[in-house]
Amino acid sequence: MTITEKILAAHCGKDRVNPGELINAKIDLVLGNDITAPPAIKEFARIGVDGVFDKDKVALVPDHFTPNKDIKSAEQVKMMREFARKYRITNFFEIGCVGIEHALLPELGLALPGDLIIGADSHTCTYGALGAFSTGVGSSDMAAAMATGEVWLKVPEAIKFIYKGKLNKWVEGKDLILYTIGKIGVDGARYMSMEFTGDAIKHLSMDQRFTMANMAIEAGGKNGIIEPDDTTIKYVKDVMKRNNIKRNYTLYKSDADAKYSKIIEYNVSDIEPQVSFPHLPSNTKPVSKAGNVKLDQVVIGSCTNGRIEDMRIAAKILKGRKKHKDLRVIVLPATQAIVKQMIKEGIMDIFIDAQCAVSTPTCGPCLGGHMGILAEGEKALSTTNRNFVGRMGHPKSEVYLSGVAVAAASAVLGRIGSPEEL
């Protein structure tokens, strides 16, 4: 079996499961945000149960339109807050504690290897970086899972990706996943499990791995997953110690004879930093072929690239430099712990000296919520995950996607470009 099949089998009490099989699986965590949780809360009331299945296994993360951008958004978060109080939900995160869900939950040890996690947010697939099975669902699924602790799932077929060789300078996990999506398309892994393997993955830090698993959904994947190794175990041990977590976790690995519907190999030494052009993440080009794209805004952050390592990469490039006069730069660190670490390491000074606006954690402009909406005709380069029409504001604005190094360099250049050009 594959790692994904093993986790699914373990959560539905079977020795083995096969692709295509429909199962009812027990969940270790269900999460929702300020957009998806309110309708789930309403639906939950219709089911007619006394409480949630386990008050420690529900996470309510108001991160999208927060700090509340308008009255309606405030009402949505109020609904979450009241629900959390009524059912004594342990993991409701108030402003000041909240971070972007897919950075926050691993940081707090709420996602561990071998877990089965569903979330009413498509980027829930992020936790696959830890060797967990995690996937995005809708609000009805969230409501049903809060009531029953279970979810119906179809066991996915799997694609094994093997990344061989050594990464070129400035190439990040983001570039590997953008390159992959560019090759297989936005539905290249539709309904499937994407298993990321190979030497290049072994050498990636956890932050880089989170970025890769995070964007499995952008290829249509059900989950993205990486086998836990020493890097994972070190990360998990640190997190558990820091948060005083006693829970057991399980390390699963794919069998040598596991069945894949496809095996795709890439030599990463062929890959240079990538840029996705509007309006699909699969519309990729190497940065050297980006041409002269003048920018109005650069966004660095999000559940894809808002972790401390991302901030360090950006700081390395922006240190002693200023952003280009014709654009604005918005930095969105994903959690309060990351903000604190940035202050400690002097990264905050670097960003402010470079004339970047640094925000409190929020999804903000990534989905066109607030904190950096684009006007008609404006172009942004963003380290976020989607560049669909109207994603960051006006339907006639444009979003380009890249890794952090290219975004930071472009902020200085005023156009899409590489750190090598500085």
Partner 1 sequence: MILGKAHKFGNNIDTDAIIPARYLNTHDPAELAKHVMEDADARFVDKMKANDIIVAGENFGCGSSREHAPVAIKAAGISAVIAKSFARIFYRNAINIGLPILESKEAVDGIKEGDEVEIELTIGEIRNVTTKKNYRSAPFPPFMQQIMKAGGLIEYVRRKIHGKNI
Residues at the interface with partner 1 (CB under 8 A): 22, 35-36, 38-39, 42-43, 46-49, 64-65, 69-70, 72-73, 76, 119-122, 124, 136-141, 143-144, 147-148, 152, 186-187, 190-191, 217, 220, 222, 280, 367-369, 386, 388-391, 395
| Whole-angstrom distance, CA of residue 215 vs CA of residue 366 | 14
Cβ of residue 94: shortest distance to partner 1, in angstroms?
19
* Complex with partner 1: residue 147 or 404, whichever CB lies closer: 147
Minimum distance of partner 1 from residue 283's CB (angstroms): 11
- The distance of closest approach from Cβ of residue 64 to partner 1 in the complex, given in angstroms and rounded to an integer, is 8
Q: Tell me whether residue 3 or residue 77 sits nearer to partner 1 (CB atom).
A: 77
Q: Which is nearer to partner 1, 22 or 343 (CB)?
A: 22
Tell me how far, at minimum, the Cβ of 269 lies from partner 1, in Å.
Answer: 31
Provide the 8-state DSSP code for 245: -
CA gap 232, 372 in Å, rounded: 34
**Which of residues 337 and 367 has its CB atom nearest to partner 1 in the complex?**
367
What are the CA-CA distances from residue 242 to residues 94, 98, 205 (Å)? 20, 17, 19
Residue with smaller CB distance to partner 1, 24 or 243: 24
Rounded distance, CA 27 to CA 39, Å? 20
* Angle CA 316–318–323, to nearest 5: 165
Helices (H) and strands (E) in the chain, counts: 14, 18
For CA atoms 345, 349, 355, 357, give the dihedral sign: positive
For partner 1, give the closer residue by CB, 49 or 263: 49
Q: Which residue, 141 or 172, has its beta carbon nearer to partner 1?
A: 141
Residues 6+ apart with CB under 8 A from 108: 239, 243
Would strands 91-92 and 22-26 be described as parallel, antiparallel, or unpaired? unpaired
C-beta closer to partner 1: residue 165 or 220: 220
CA–CA separation, 210 and 206 (whole Å): 6
**Cα diameter, the chain:** 61
CB of 167 to partner 1, least distance (A): 28
Backbone angles phi, psi at 45, to 5 degrees: -60, -35
Cα 173 from Cα 163, distance rounded (Å): 11
193-197 and 223-225: which strand pairing? parallel
Q: Nearest approach, Cβ of 218 to partner 1 (angstroms)?
A: 8
Q: 137 or 314: whose CB is closer to partner 1?
A: 137
Task: Say if residues 300 and 404 touch (Cβ distance below 8 Å).
Answer: yes
- Residue closer to partner 1 (CB basis): 14 or 321: 14
Grouping H, G, I as helix, E, B as strand and the rest as coil, residue 186 is coil
Q: What is the DSSP letter of 403?
A: -
Break the chain down into helix, strand, coil percent, rounded to 5: 40, 20, 45
Q: 239 vs 280, which CB is nearer to partner 1?
A: 280
* Shortest Cβ 328–partner 1 spacing (Å): 20
- Sign of the Cα torsion 10, 180, 298, 351 reads positive
Shortest Cβ distance from residue 187 to partner 1 (Å)? 4
Closest distance between partner 1 and the C-beta of residue 82, in Å?
Answer: 15
In the chain, the N- to C-terminal Cα span, in Å, equals 48
Nearest approach, Cβ of 347 to partner 1 (angstroms)?
29
Closest distance to partner 1 from the beta carbon of 206 (Å): 24
What single DSSP character describes residue 273? -
